[in-house]
């Protein structure tokens, strides 16, 4: 059984407008990157960064940290594999589920629209070298 331990190291939430309310209709762009930090037998450590931007640009939330994946090597490989470069691997889905509570609480505190937990189904994955570039990921409506 694979276990994923997530450690959030940085959270930033910015409200760009005084106008939005919780019920304001927006779409969200989600960009994410995963980078290998360390790999030992039975353990794999990743650095992650997730950026959620609202369109119109009323808010932005950035969450970054590390995820330690432990288990059998074959199982670890399974959660790290992806069908193609732009599809998030299963481990990303687990990371997003674990940080979603933070995103939800920040949205409520800032009185901005809540991103859907379903955002994790449509994510623009950037390679570590791309993560520093500004790219517009696909939009999804909530």
Q: Could you read off the pLDDT of 2-50 as tens digits, one per residue?
A: 999 999 999 999 998 877 665 667 888 888 899 999 999 999 999 999 9
What confidence score (pLDDT) does residue 120 get?
55
What confidence score (pLDDT) does residue 106 get?
92
Q: Compute the radius of gyration of the chain from its Cα atoms.
A: 15
Q: What is the 3-state secondary structure (H, E, C) of 88-110?
A: CCHHHHHHHHHHHHHHHHHHHHH
Q: Could you read off the pLDDT of 91-111 as tens digits, one per residue?
A: 998 999 999 999 999 999 988
What confidence score (pLDDT) does residue 119 get?
65
Q: How far apart are alpha carbons 119 and 123 in whole angstroms?
A: 7
pLDDT at 139 over 70: no
Tell me the sheet residues that pair with 34. Answer: 48
What confidence score (pLDDT) does residue 114 get?
85
Residue 50 in contact with residue 32, Cβ under 8 Å? yes
Q: Could you read off the pLDDT of 112-124 as tens digits, one per residue?
A: 888 877 765 555 5
Q: Could you read off the pLDDT of 39-92 as tens digits, one per residue?
A: 999 999 999 999 999 888 889 999 999 999 999 999 999 999 887 776 788 999
Would you tell me which CATH number, out of the four given (1.25.40.10, 3.40.50.300, 3.10.420.10, 3.40.50.620), belongs to the domain 3-125? 3.10.420.10
pTM equals: 0.78
């Amino acid at each position: 059984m694979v276990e994923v331990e997530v450690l959030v190291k940085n959270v930033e939430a910015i409200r760009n407008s005084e106008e939005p309310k919780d019920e304001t209709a927006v779409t969200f762009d989600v960009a994410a990157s995963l980078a290998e930090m360390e790999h030992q037998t039975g353990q794999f450590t990743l650095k992650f960064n997730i950026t959620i931007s609202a369109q119109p640009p009323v808010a932005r939330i950035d969450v970054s940290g590390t995820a330690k994946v432990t288990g059998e090597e074959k199982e670890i490989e399974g959660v790290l594999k992806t069908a193609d470069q732009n599809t998030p691997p299963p481990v990303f889905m687990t990371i997003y589920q674990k940080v979603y509570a933070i995103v939800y609480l920040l949205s409520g505190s800032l009185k901005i629209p809540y991103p859907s937990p379903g955002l994790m189904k449509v994510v623009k994955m950037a390679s570590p070298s791309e993560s520093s570039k500004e790219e517009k990921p696909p939009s999804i409506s909530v």
